[in-house]
Structure 1
């Protein structure tokens, strides 16, 4: 397997969906909670990245094995069939990456406390159930919620917790503060999966995957895509007004014209290769600028 094929198998281009919420958590830990642990952050980064790659490999593996459209999707679309990768090799990589991530996670639990174990179990469960089992989350109308909540909020929550271990307030008030700062990332990650499901609407129907688009249709899916982009920017304004983030994070609002342009392109045409990257760009630019502008204020 070549490096290019491996990077596509683990969907390396989508890793910003987990890395940037983690970095945002580090920023909030330093700015708002005045706490930071370099060792804990590095360990969490490695474990998170390994398991994220395992989940994406598992997604491709399960889609390959469960494909109903064996002539086109399985042989020509799915990377395992298209690149003639051994399914046994993919399964072995999934197992190795997951075990290493779990071992690092257990070591972190020893360092920071038992709450991390429950947070980690939740994230592992969502990652495994995302494409596995009789009713995988990515084939159900709840996929957008779980992907956004887990990668956008839970990763940031863990990032804050491991930097403030031993003195973390588990009150609802404190959790809502973290959730508000994480909300733009959560919504943009959710929109990434929503855009993917909009583009794959017919393919999902052919493979008996009933995503949210099966129930609400493409038009309402596009309306939801736009609405979540609007809420993301309102959340940024609210977080600054609540003094959970520095004023500099308001500079993120400067990318509104870019987000509007990408949204219009996606509204006009929903084709995987041509317009799905619009959602990827919104997530990448939006989350990256949010992290940078938060960091400037620190």
Structure 2
């Protein structure tokens, strides 16, 4: 394990009190150095599908679900902290580490290490978690300001709602532009709101804008916010339209990420957005951040 790697935690490890108690009982030092950010594992969701005898069915796991975003917390780990984490995870008997990409709400991707149950050990589709375990996980989520709807649904054996069901658009997917009909097929039209989000907007000179994350506060992009009817069906189409080929694929022209958008009424929503994945050195900045009111090239 690379000691400098970031740890994406989604189980009871996000609950500081719970992890501290376990460390005390196990005689090990607290493994986490500090919180980096809230983060989401894209196209995955939480599930309770493994019954671990020592923990009497309290083991959380993840599975792929296209269009979903599983909430968690990104941590720095102390130099010897990985040993404690893997002891708690019962590695390699129960969990196995894997490298992945998680999303933060500023439009960025971060490489991290997460844990999932070893596939050969999964024998069922649903094992309800212990009430105290689910409560500790919920307390951890809420302490970090994270949504607990996914947890509450899957802990009861139900399908989780989409944790991020809004999309922020800023170019040709907006109302009145060439590709709006593609968004219109999967977005609730009555949910359209004028909105703004942090970022810098560039003119591609190909008839569409390019959004990139902003490094400092002050740069804002204007656009529209919609609620999607079905994330899976929407992104099956929009990923192709935006040439997004999957997380970690450098060939993508745009990448599907997350941003915190604010409506004209001051309401803040976590939303999907497509960010440019190519160099911008030769592109012109749209200073207004507004594609509708951009200067036209002669």
Tell me which interval the TM-score lies in, with the shorter structure as reference length.
under 0.3
TM-score, L = length of structure 1: 0.27
* Structure of greater relative contact order (alpha carbons < 8 Å, 6+ residues apart): 1
Structure exhibiting the larger radius of gyration computed from Cα positions: 2
